[in-house]
Amino acid sequence: MFTFQLRHTDARTQARRGVFVTPRGEVRTPAFMPVGTQGTVKGLTMDMVRATGAEMILGNTYHLALRPGAELVEKLGGLHRFSGWSGPILTDSGGFQLFSLAQMTKITEQRAVFRSHIDGSVFELSPERAIEIQERLGSDVAMVLDHVVALPNEDSVVRDACERTVRWAARCKEAGRRDDQAQFAIVQGGLNSDLRAWCAEQLAKIGFPGYAIGGLSVGETPDEMYRMLDATCPELPATSPRYLMGVGRPEDILQAIRRGVDLFDCVMPTRNGRNALAFTDAGPVRMRNLKHASDDRPLEEHCPCPACQRSRGYLRHLFMADEMLGPILLSAHNLTYYQRLVAGAREAIVQDRFEEYCQTKFQGWSGDATT
């Protein structure tokens, strides 16, 4: 029901072109998944998200369990019908909240106990409960519950969380009941290459349809992240998709693809769009800057998004006038840009010119479009 077809590997790098086949459609990889944490990609209708070229989106177990509740989503037909997205959906397990809400969280071997960021009520999340919630939501891919810690950190803390992640992954697999939902395991291990490799090996022994690399982009440098990818990707099964969680700078995405990663998600395109920053091949463009006031050019000449059907001057006006259309248009542009980025990567991989593609992008981004 869930398969990964590896179509081609670039001749000079580890970049992979593949297809992740799900019951709700195929996802061409490398792929970027827009983040719809609470059942919506902020500011956009699902038709607008589809128009960017996205084939798969992400939702969050913790947030949806708190509001409106997994039982209510199930009652209203599951997350696909509830949100209006008919393609594949991946749901995060809530493990990242162990890190982001650390001040309100107590972790034991059995479970994590949170204080809700909404009303302070107690919320318990065990591996079994994480899977139960995701099965109620009806996502296509359910992430196992993992233990994320801040970086850098003490070796003993990282090792403890890494070993717990493996034990929790086994419990998640045992708890699964739906055959129309694939579980992806998550590799932890902080900035310890040996732990990363060990975790990947242990999870592969348990056996999952896909594997994620988690616990990165939480305070480490880009070079440290790339080093962890170098240590982890070779230890993961070549016949399964590899997902780098929460990493979304365009340059990081290309560096990760170069190392063999297939799937990505990040809030950066929409969050930056809401704050008047547009991603382009010439680097980021800050639309509130005065120099754009009388500029009649589009953000990018060949971009098909609705924002690029208007002038830079008009887009700046929307932000300066606090019109809600500005964040909407720039969010659509940024998501379209990310889809164009991975589509270009897919094409370059099958032509064995991914390294040249990267260098062209890196040179463009090093320009001075932000001033």
Q: How far is CA 288 from CA 50, 174, 281, 336, in A?
A: 27, 52, 19, 21
Residue (of 132, 134, 165, 133) closest to 148 by Cα position: 165
Helix, strand or coil, per DSSP, at residue 169: helix
Q: Are strands 89-92 and 57-60 parallel, antiparallel or unpaired?
A: parallel
* Burial of 193 (C-beta count, 10 Å sphere; 0-12/13-18/19+): middle
Cβ neighbours for 201, distance < 8 A, ≥ 6 positions apart: 235
Residue (of 239, 220, 207, 247) closest to 58 by Cα position: 247
CA distance 248 to 29: 15
Q: Are strands 3-9 and 242-244 parallel, antiparallel or unpaired?
A: unpaired
CA distance 352 to 249: 23
Do the Cβ atoms of 88 and 27 come closer than 8 Å? Answer: yes
Q: Which residues pair with 29 in a beta bridge?
A: 18
* HEC assignment per residue over 76-131: CCHHHHHHCCCCCEEEECCCHHHHHCHHHEEECCCCEEEECCCCCCEEEECHHHHH
CA distance 35 to 70: 18
Query: Which positions are annotated as active-site residues?
Result: 92, 265
